[in-house]
Amino acid sequence: MKKLPIGIQNFKEIVSEGYYYVDKTAFVKKLEESGKYF
């Protein structure tokens, strides 16, 4: 089971140490186009 990267801000460390990571890059465009505040 993968570990949660709580408190880790270094992406290279998250990937190299096998932490759980969800890439949500595809949602950036949807957020920009929604015109709502988040």
- pLDDT tens-place string over residues 4-21: 999 999 999 999 999 999
- 14: Cβ–Cβ under 8 A, 6 or more apart, which residues? 5, 8, 21
Residue 30 lies in domain: 1-38
Kindly state the average pLDDT of the residues 13-30: 92
The per-residue pLDDT for 3 is 95
Which two tokens mark 28? 């950036």
Kindly state the average pLDDT of the residues 31-38: 79
If one counts the domains in the chain, the total is 1
pTM: 0.60
Position 38 pLDDT exceeds 70: no
CB contact at 8 A, 4 and 19: yes
